[in-house]
């Protein structure tokens, strides 16, 4: 990881998510680590806005995987949000059919708590780390 950005507040995080989305064309995988409350879900909310998704993206606590259709994009047809926090093993995620999402060309896959499923995350995944920073609402993000 080389690039670091300070996010002053939630708005900065959302805006960064939006601009990340605009650089995507499909087949991206983001592996986003960081402590509870650091802003991983907020970042994917920004990405969803950037993709024009109307539904509110929340933590997929009960579902582990949530798929959001993308209607108005040339190459991305869905956002796949994975929250591995509650998983005990990678096999659990495999049994939910995650490989299909890793193989597709027309989606953007966003993974929270990737360290829980290290062994099955494709090499091409882009690693991102979010952490708390000096002030209450400040975060530091590394790419």
73 lies in the site for ligand ADP, by CB under 6 A = no
Nearer to ligand ADP, 73 or 109 (CB): 109
Count the site residues for ligand ADP by CB under 6 A. 16
The gap from C-alpha 4 to its chain's centroid, in whole angstroms, comes to: 17
Site string for Mg ion, 98-117 (x = CB under 5 A): --------------x-----
Query: Least CB distance from residue 55 to ligand ADP, whole Å?
Result: 16
Total residues interacting with Mg ion, rule: CB under 5 A: 4
Quote the DSSP letter at residue 62.
Answer: T
- Tell the smallest beta-carbon distance from residue 138 to ligand ADP (Å): 6
Integer angstrom CA distances of residue 74 from 26, 48, 94: 9, 15, 28
The answer to whether 120 and 90 have CB atoms below 8 angstroms apart is yes
At its nearest, how many Å lie between ligand ADP and the CB of residue 73? 23
**33 near ligand ADP, rule: CB under 6 A:** no
59 belongs to the binding site for Mg ion (CB under 5 A): yes
What is the distance between the alpha carbons of residues 48 and 68, in angstroms, rounded to a whole number? Answer: 9
Residues 6 or more apart whose Cβ sits within 8 Å of residue 111: 29, 30, 31, 32, 82, 83, 84, 117, 121, 125
* Sites of contact with ligand ADP (CB under 6 A): 7, 9-10, 12-13, 34, 36-42, 112, 137, 139
């Amino acid at each position: 990881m080389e690039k670091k950005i300070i996010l002053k507040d939630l708005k900065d995080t959302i805006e960064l998510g939006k601009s990340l989305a605009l650089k995507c064309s499909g087949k991206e995988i983001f592996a986003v680590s960081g402590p509870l409350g650091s802003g991983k879900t907020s970042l994917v909310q920004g990405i969803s806005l950037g993709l024009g998704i109307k539904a509110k993206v929340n933590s997929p606590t009960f579902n582990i995987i949530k798929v959001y259709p993308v209607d108005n994009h040339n190459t991305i047809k869905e956002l796949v949000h994975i929250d591995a926090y509650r998983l005990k093993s990678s096999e659990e995620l495999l049994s939910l059919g995650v490989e299909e999402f890793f193989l597709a060309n027309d989606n953007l896959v966003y993974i929270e708590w990737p360290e829980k499923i290290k062994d099955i995350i494709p090499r091409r995944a882009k690693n991102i780390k979010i952490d708390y920073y000096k002030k209450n609402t400040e975060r530091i993000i590394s790419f």
